[in-house]
A = this chain, B = another copy of it.
Amino acid sequence: MRYLPHTDNDVAEMLSVIGANSLDDLFAAIPEACRRQDALDLPEAMTEWELNKHMGRLASAMAVCPEYLVFMGAGSYDHYIPEAVKQLLGRSEFYTSYTPYQPEVSQGTLQAIYEYQTLTTRLLGLDVANASMYDGASGLAEALLMAIRVTRRKKVYVSQLCHPLYRQVVQTYFEPTGYEVVELPYRDDGRTDFSGITDLEACAGIAVQSPNFLGCIEDIATLSENVHTDPKTMLIVSFTEPLAYGLLKSPGILGADIACGEGQSLGIPRSFGGPGLGMFAAKKAYLRNMPGRLVGQTKDLDGKRGFVLTLSTREQHIRREKATSNICSNQGLCATAAAMYMAALGGTGVRELAQLNHDKAAYLKGALNQAGLETPFGAPFFNEFVVRLPGSSEETYNRLLSEKIVAGLPLASFYPELEGHYLMCATETMDREDMDLLVKEVTS
């Protein structure tokens, strides 16, 4: 086996240094009763070439571009990833190293993450960003828990237009805690209805996603004003499509205390949902309550600039049960990818690309409208919107599937009242002719 270096001779020599007679001897200390009796019942090892064939077959069973047109976002977005980013991520010094516990031999990772943190604060308009959370969902759960820690209150509000799967994760995290999660309904225009919040003084935090799950841009500014009438209540802005902030006002500018969400959009392949990137940023005041790793700048003995993991007194390996989170391994390489991607875009690129995303979605929405389809929610949107498919929606949807078009995400399973409605996404990867084809096929 090409991964295993030990020759018979090596084994014999090592056993003799140890004073053992056989490999089995090494496990003599394990009580008999604990020993496995049967051999591992695993398929015979594949050669590298068999594996390639096998995986090729599996991969070819997937509906991906260019064979399929997938008009689906819903928390996982199709964006072009520069080849340079892919190849740089393949530098094995990055991907085969561990968490940078030994800063002298990890300056590459550390500077890369420091830069990620910085670009993230700039994107989200907040003071500090951590080195990543697992994903947008657990990030939201941790943000809510953080608000509870900070405010010592026990109730949070979460917009129903936060990603339904994120809300499920929040429920899971909250189940054993005894804290209360109240969901906020949405209005006809596709934005959250905050009018039901009457007890701000009891509320640790309010979470809203923007652009929200229906693709609409929430009125965070007004919300922030209202929320911050209570000096403690925290405003948490969640997101699934951070590219939007290339164009839209950032959560921080709009008054968010915490912004957290999924960064997959920023140069990370969809990979059937993971690995992605939990982005997490907050106002400086909350720094010591933040979950997750932080990289900080410092100097070495000679006064040279360098970077280290810092403020680890918040973390599990120092604080154990009192830690701000249990997170240890995070999504470091994805954070690095996002930094590379943001650097490649640059200030000009991020804005132009964001605008283009909006333009594509607007084109598609317009074309669908023109073809007579309803798009019920009137609020401004970024690159996603909801459309009602005509006729028997499900039939239409399935017919399109057979034409190799995935016409968005059926919303009924998440919002039963939206039976027949589909969440459509068009990013920069959709050509006009692709969209025209969709419109044609939908209406044919």
Q: What B residues does A87 contact at CB under 8 A?
A: 90, 92
A48 at the interface (CB under 8 A from B): yes
- CB atoms of A82 and B429 under 8 A apart: no
- Name the residue on B nearest A92 (C-beta): B87
Q: Is A56 an interface position by the 8 A CB rule?
A: yes
**A48 to B53, alpha carbons, bound, how many Å?**
29
Contact A80 B429 (CB under 8 A): no
Q: Is A83 an interface residue (CB 8 A)?
A: yes
Closest to A87 in B: B90
Cβ < 8 Å to B, chain A residues 81-107: 82-83, 87, 90, 92
Interface residue? A176 (CB, 8 A): no
Closest B residue to A83 by CB, please name it.
B48
How would you classify the secondary structure of chain A's contact residues: helix, strand, loop or mixed? helix
Residue A272 lies at the interface, judged by CB distance under 8 Å to chain B: no
What is the 8 Å Cβ interface bit string for chain A, positions 211-249, against chain B (1 contact, 0 not)?
Answer: 000000000000000000000000000000000000000
Is A49 in the interface zone, CB < 8 Å from B?
Answer: yes
Q: Which residues of B contact A92 (CB under 8 A)?
A: 87
* Distance between Cα atoms of A87 and B92 in the complex (Å): 9
CB-CB nearest in chain B for A344: B2
Give Cα A372 to B187, complex, Å. Answer: 79
Closest partner residue, chain B, to A88 (CB atom) = B92
Give 10 CB contacts A-B under 8 Å.
A48-B80, A48-B82, A48-B83, A49-B80, A49-B429, A53-B66, A56-B66, A87-B90, A87-B92, A90-B90
